[in-house]
Amino acid sequence: MTRAFREINAAGDCRARLGEVTTAHGTFPTPIFMPVGTQATVKAVTPRDLKDAGAGIILGNTYHLFLRPGHELIRELGGLHRFMAWDGPILTDSGGFQIFSLKDLAKISEEGAGFKSHIDGSKLFLSPESAIKVQEALGSDIMMALDTCIPYPADYDTAARATELTGRWAARCRKAHKNQDLLLFGIVQGGMFPELRKQAAGELIDIGFDGYAIGGVSVGEPTDEMREMTRVSAALLPRDYPVYLMGVGTPEDLVESVFFGVDMFDCVMPTRNARNGMLFTEQGRIVIKNARFRDDSRPVDEACDCYACRNFSRAYLRHLYVCREILASYLNTVHNLRYYLRLMEGIRQAIAADKYLEFRREFYRKRGMDVPVY
C-alpha cells in the first residue's frame, strides 16, 4: 500500500496540521478544498480558471460519469484528465451518496446497489467491485470505496446494519483494487452514533487504505451534531494518513473541521451559491441581487484578488445577475472558488506559523461571531 501523506507541521494547541498528499498526477498541500466537478466540469468555469483560483485537486463523480458519457468511452479517449483537460489530481466519489439521494430509484443489497437511471429509467447495478472498475477506467488519482449512506434521523439498528454493510463493501473494494498507482480511501459511516463510528474506523484501519473519509454527515442533521460526529470521527483515524470530510461545507465548517484534524474537503456550496447570487466575503455572505448593491462601486470583497474583484463592482455583478446574463454565473463562481481556496491558503499559512487559534479567532471576529466552544 502506498503511503501518500506526509505531515509537515502540526499545531501545538489543537489537531490542525499542515501536510501534503502525493498522487499520480502531482502533489497537493493540505488542508485543501476540492472544487466539485461532478460531470467532468466544475460548473461555469474552465480548468484554466481553476488553476488561477489555486485549485490543487478537483472532484468528479463515479455515478454520473458511469451513466454518461460512460467510463469505457472516457478510458478510450485517454482517461478523465485528458477528457476534461485537467492535468492535476482528481478524486472521484464512489457514487454512494448519489444512490442514497436517489433512494426512490435504488435498492440496496449485500451485492451492491441496483438503481434506475435518473436520466432514462434504465436499470443499472453498481457493486463494490464495479465501483472500483469504473474509477480505475476513469483514471482517478484518489478513488473512494463504495459505501451506503445513512439517512437522518436513523435509529441505532438501522445505522448499525448500514455501517456493517459499508465495512463489508470496503473490504471488497480493497480486494478489487488493482492499479496501485491510484489511491483508495475508505469511508467511515456510523450515523450519529459515536460507538458505531468507532467500530467503522477500526474495521477500515484493519483493512488498510491510503486515506480515510468521514461520510454520512451533512445529510440533514443540525450543525452541532455534524460537527460533533466530525470531531469524534477525526480523532479515531490515524495521523499518518489524510482525513477527508465529504460534502462539507460552509467556511465556518471548514475552519472548525481543520481544528478537529481534517485535511480535505469538498462541497458544491461555492459554485451552487454563486449561480444563485450568494457570494462569500471575509465579513460573511452577501446576496448580490439585493437593491442596496445597485450603486455599490466596491468589489465583492476588498481583500480578494480574484479576476471578478480586481475588475468589477458589486453594482455591475448585481446588474448581470438581475438581467440573467451568463457572465453573472461565471464571475460569481470565479469569486466564490477563489474565496474558498484563499481561505485554505490562509489556514495553511497559520498552521505553518503555529498560529491557527489566532487565525480562527480573527476569522470569527471579522464576521461578528463568537468562536465556538466544545
Active site residues: 93, 266
Virtual CA dihedral for 285, 288, 289, 291, nearest 10 degrees? 90
CA 261 to chain centre: 15
Rounded Cα distance, 348 and 370, in Å: 22
CA 168 to chain centre: 24
- What cell does 151 get? 439517512
Virtual CA dihedral for 315, 318, 323, 327, nearest 10 degrees? 100
Which residues lie below 8 Å from residue 17, measured CB to CB, with a gap of 6+?
A: 7, 8, 9, 10, 11, 30, 239, 261, 263, 351
**Burial of residue 352, with CB atoms counted within 10 A of its CB: 0-12 exposed, 13-18 middle, 19 or more buried:** middle
Q: How many CA atoms lie within 13 A of 219 on its CB side?
A: 24
The rounded radius of gyration (Å) of the Cα atoms in the chain is 20
Q: How many CA atoms lie within 13 A of 352 on its CB side?
A: 11
Helix (H, G, I), strand (E, B) or coil at 346: helix
Backbone torsions φ then ψ of 106, nearest 5 degrees: -125, 155
Backbone torsions φ then ψ of 113, nearest 5 degrees: -115, 115
